[in-house]
Amino acid sequence: MLEKSCEVINKIDTQLSVNPDDSILSSEDFPGLINYCPLVNNDIEHKCSSYEELVSSAFITLLVSFISNNGDEYLDRGNFAEYAILWLCYQVNQKEENTIDNLNDFHNKYIKGIENYIVKKPNTEAYNSYKNIIDKKQNSMPIGIKEMSKLYEALKILCDMYNEYKKNTSNCAKCLDEANNFAVKYNDLNNDSNHKEGSLYSQILSTLSKDYNKLKEECDNGQSKKFPSLPQIIPPKSSTHTYGETDIQFSDVETSSSSITSTLIPVLLAFAIPVFLGISYKYSLFGFDKQLQRQYLREKLKKIKKKMNHYI
């Protein structure tokens, strides 16, 4: 699956040769990438007038090209939609004066508006798969464009490794430098503050790790030089307030409360027993009727139990 993902991404990158900060953009320079540009001239012509529009059209082309060449059964299995999101974030982040910092806002501004004629074209499953990922994530947390761009840099190293591997599958020594670069990059990403449990960042990092390990397994077989191993992914608990984490926090509170209660009860009992003994002794000295004494002690015991239940 890494092979197919890298091939499609490299093909689109070759066609998307443009300066992101150019104020003048001609759609005619990118004939293979304008099929999803906004419609003009009475909806008979596609034309992109900005870098963002061109990247959006190229992104949809990326998705559709993949599914056209490989079939829809590969899309979710290979996590290609996630890699496509990395590509989009990286391209958007190339513009110096980019004012949009999360993918949800970019999607709503530049991609959502062309959905009406995306669905009229063949192979819309690819776009729907991407859209499902966005829909699932955008209500819980923003997908940061800069953060995703870091992950794309790791993907590019992985693709470079694979391209080098394809040239000579019997000798992976030439891939070793890229493997070391990937391991360093991966370690940085694994320790990044954006690495939160359950986040899309964490999921894609896991996908990158699996694809690297598959290539590592192929190259380590019978080779004198081994690829470096990656550390285990153990993302920290998310600090954002989501429903799931609120449940965890409440659970922690209950555990803490139970701990306090289990400690408090013996202390209360240790305090109550001498008091009862003292009261009993006092009443026996003054010659109170034993029945009245027992009744009084029972009433005091009920009151203390009631207070203890209140603390629990």
Q: Yes or no: say if 172 and 221 are a contact pair by the CB < 8 Å rule.
A: no
266: part of which helix (H) or strand (E)? helix 243-285
**Quick check: is 294 in a domain?**
yes
Q: State which of 183, 207, 240 marks the end of a domain.
A: 240
192's CB contacts (< 8 A; 6+ apart) are 147, 150, 201
pLDDT (tens digit per residue) in 7-42: 889 999 988 888 888 767 776 788 888 888 888 888
The pLDDT of residue 41 is 85
When pLDDT is cut at 50, 70 and 90, the band that residue 189 belongs to is very high
Q: Which pTM was predicted?
A: 0.70
Bridge partner residues of 120 (DSSP): none
What residue type is 16 in one-letter code?
Answer: L
What is residue 277's predicted lDDT score, i.e. its pLDDT? 45
Judge whether residue 310 has pLDDT over 60: no
On whether both 51 and 189 belong to a single domain, the answer is no
Same domain? For 9 and 133 the reply is: yes
Q: Which of 39-48, 51-60, 228-237 has the highest mean pLDDT?
A: 51-60
Phi, psi torsion values for 302, nearest 5 degrees: -60, -40
Q: Is the pLDDT of residue 284 over 60?
A: no
Residue-wise pLDDT for 231-283, tens only, equals 888 777 664 433 233 222 323 333 333 443 343 344 434 444 444 445 444 44
Most confident segment among 140-154, 163-177, 205-219? 205-219
Identify which of 69-73, 158-162, 262-266, 289-293 has the greatest average pLDDT: 158-162
Q: Do 111 and 94 fall within a single domain?
A: yes
Q: Are residues 151 and 219 in the same domain?
A: yes
Answer for the pair 225, 162: CB distance below 8 angstroms, yes or no. no
Q: Are residues 135 and 3 in the same domain?
A: yes
Mean pLDDT along residues 120-131: 70
Q: What CA–CA distance (Å, rounded) separates 34 from 63?
A: 14
Enumerate residues 6+ apart whose C-beta is below 8 A from 103.
85, 88, 89, 92, 134, 142, 143, 144, 145, 148
pLDDT mean across residues, the chain: 73
Which of residues 88, 115, 143 is at a domain's end?
143
C-alpha 280: how far from chain center: 66
188 belongs to a structural domain: yes
Phi-psi region of 222 (alpha: psi -120 to 50; beta: other; left: phi over 0): left
Name the most confidently modeled range: 5-14, 150-159, 197-206: 150-159
Q: Are 62 and 84 in contact (CB under 8 A)?
A: yes
Cβ atoms of 264 and 253 within 8 Å: the answer is: no
Classified as helix, coil or strand, 47 is coil
| Residue that has been written with the tokens 């030439």 in this structure | 174
Domain check: are 25 and 138 in the same one? yes
| Residue 245 lies inside a defined structural domain of this protein | no
Closest CA to 69 of 109, 111, 131, 126: 126
Give yes or no for a contact between 16 and 30, defined as CB atoms under 8 angstroms apart. yes
Which residues are bridge partners to 40 per DSSP?
45
Q: Which residues contact 272 (CB under 8 A, 6 or more apart)?
A: 304
Residue 260 inside a domain? The answer is yes
214 and 122 within one domain: no
Q: Which residues of 43-54 are buried (b: 16+ CB within 10 A; e: fewer)?
A: eeebbbeebbbb
Domain annotation covers residue 265: yes
Q: Which amino acid is at 236?
A: P
Structure tokens at 298: 């029972």
Same-domain check for residues 61 and 135: yes
Residues 211, 297 within the same domain: no
Place 305 in a pLDDT band, splitting at 50, 70 and 90.
low
Q: Strands, DSSP E only, in the chain? A: 39-40, 45-46
* Count of domains for the chain: 3
- Grade residue 183 by pLDDT with cuts at 50, 70 and 90: very high
Residues 270 and 295 in one domain: yes
Is 102 in the same domain as 16? yes
Identify the band that residue 306 occupies on the pLDDT scale cut at 50, 70 and 90. Answer: low
pLDDT at 271: 40
Residue that terminates a domain, selected from 143, 168, 198: 143
Looking at the fold, whether 69 and 120 belong to one and the same domain comes out as yes
Query: Nearest 5°: CA angle at 59, between 54 and 61?
Result: 95
Which residues form the domain of 56?
1-143
Token pair belonging to 284: 């026996």
